[in-house]
Structure 1
Amino acid sequence: MPHISPAGAVNIEYSHFSIGELWEPGFERRDVRPDFQTSEAVVVPGRIIVRSRVQEHTARVVLALGGQHGQVPGAGWELLASVAYQPVYTGRVAAFDTTNGQARSAGEAVRVFGQQVDPGEPTIELDPSRTYDVQVWAQGRSDSRERFDAAAPGADTEGFSGLETYLIVFTPSGTQEPLPPAVPESRRDRLARTHGKPPLNSR
């Protein structure tokens, strides 16, 4: 049985949200702009970008770790994508709004793998010495855009909820050498690297 996070809620804007590792001090930040032109889940270092069929709304999200490959989480779940993921920090993973940081607690429970998952903060801990196969599952997505248009045509629908629920399942697939923290860098060295030369008072 996989380890299952509490059920969170993400505010979706521009039809996407992300599942990502929390950056740790001492590690080099991985800020890579993904390709948003695809409807598939996109993996960039430290993040998995998931596409919604609705531009602006609130979706429930649950994260799970372990379990069997291809195990269906229950009735009504649709498999959207299978991708490979490699941890780049220490493996602390959370769900994130499009623009406002970490997801909040959902307003109601979600049923996955035969369990009722209560609302809370959707986070899990990956082993940074492992690699993972990731499956993205969804409920309600097949007709979410149509239900959205029928429920509130032309209205301000940023907070519209209940249209989609997502489950992101991480299953260990192999091993890797964990990335070590970056070597501490002095202010002088950081300015020299950023601007091509050290500040005048340090030359």
Structure 2
Amino acid sequence: MAQISRAGAVNIEYGHFPVGELWEPGFERRDDDPDPRASEAVVVTPGRIIVRSRVQQHTAPVVLALGNQQGQTPGAGWELLASVAYRPVYTGRMAAFDTTNGPARSADEPVRVFGQQVGPGEPTIDLDPSHTYDVQVWAQGRSDSRERFDEALPGADAERASGFEAYLIVFTPSGAQQPPSPATRESRRDRLTRSHGRPPLNSR
């Protein structure tokens, strides 16, 4: 692996969480929401990859990785959930996020991927915005996570639930693109001219 993030923990609500690109000043903000009727386990929108969990509300470890070749299996217990394509829309700084509360926190324990123990910390990696990427989303524990959740916490506080699923998102370069660039900063004179059809009196 070219780069592996630290192990974070996402607080999942409404059965999904995003892995998204951090917005940078000067870029047009991309906030496209996925189709709520979509049934795919992984959905891509500009600037975000949405992963759907089988458990409505819980906390799950997440690791991000930048690969240098396709087909690398992360290890025992990991199952490939989906393969999708991603194009950076800002500067390529990717992070895992809670569903509603901002960036993921540090995980409580290490996560084993690609033969190494990944310690707790921030789940972030840096993509090259001049590349496009194939993304593989791997999961642990997902096949029976809902059933184990229902058995373990009947009537309990779901916000404290953890240990039912873990996720690994691997980005591998697949091609090239024109890197996104920030918009040219507009001067006050140009902004007023655009708004009123002519420049201000004191600048004609």
TM-score, scaled to structure 2: 0.90
Summarize deviations over 1:166-190 as a string: whole Å, max 9, x none: 0000000000001110122467988
Query: In the alignment, what sits opposite 1:10?
Result: 10
Query: In the alignment, what sits opposite 1:184?
Result: 185
Indicate yes or no: 2:66 matched with 1:71.
Answer: no
- Aligned partner letter, 1:70: G
Q: Structure 1: 5+ residue runs without aligned partners?
A: none
**What is the DSSP-based 3-state SS (H/G/I as helix, E as strand, rest coil) of the residue aligned with 1:146?**
helix
Query: In the alignment, what sits opposite 2:36?
Result: 36
Greater shift in the superposed pair: 111-120 or 33-42: 33-42
How far apart, in 2, do the equivalents of 1:138 and 1:191 lie?
52
Summarize deviations over 1:131-183 as a string: whole Å, max 9, x none: 00000000001000001000011222112111100000000000000111012
CA 110–192 in structure 1, closer or farther in 2 if over 3 Å, else same: farther
Query: In the alignment, what sits opposite 2:97?
Result: 96
How far apart, in 1, do the equivalents of 2:158 and 2:167 lie?
19
How far apart, in 1, do the equivalents of 2:191 and 2:46 lie?
22
How far apart, in 1, do the equivalents of 2:144 and 2:78 lie?
13
Kept in 2: contact 1:27–1:180 (CA 8 A): yes
Summarize deviations over 1:86-136 as a string: whole Å, max 9, x none: 000000000000000000000000000001000000000000000000000
Q: Which has the larger radius of gyration?
A: 2
Query: In the alignment, what sits opposite 2:88?
Result: 87
**What is the DSSP-based 3-state SS (H/G/I as helix, E as strand, rest coil) of the residue aligned with 2:120?**
coil
How far apart, in 2, do the equivalents of 1:173 and 1:92 lie?
17
Identical columns (%): 77
**What is the DSSP-based 3-state SS (H/G/I as helix, E as strand, rest coil) of the residue aligned with 2:63?**
strand
TM-score, scaled to structure 1: 0.91
Query: In the alignment, what sits opposite 1:111?
Result: 112
- Aligned partner letter, 2:158: T
CA displacement at 1:34 relative to structure 2: 0.6
How far apart, in 1, do the equivalents of 2:94 and 2:35 lie?
21
Summarize deviations over 1:40-64 as a string: whole Å, max 9, x none: 2000000000000000000000000
Kept in 2: contact 1:11–1:159 (CA 8 A): no
CA 8–184 in structure 1, closer or farther in 2 if over 3 Å, else same: same
- Aligned partner letter, 1:20: G
Query: In the alignment, what sits opposite 2:21?
Result: 21
- Aligned partner letter, 2:31: D
CA 177–115 in structure 1, closer or farther in 2 if over 3 Å, else same: same
**What is the DSSP-based 3-state SS (H/G/I as helix, E as strand, rest coil) of the residue aligned with 2:158?**
coil
How far apart, in 2, do the equivalents of 1:140 and 1:191 lie?
57
How far apart, in 1, do the equivalents of 2:190 and 2:45 lie?
28
Runs of 4+ off more than 3 Å: 185-193
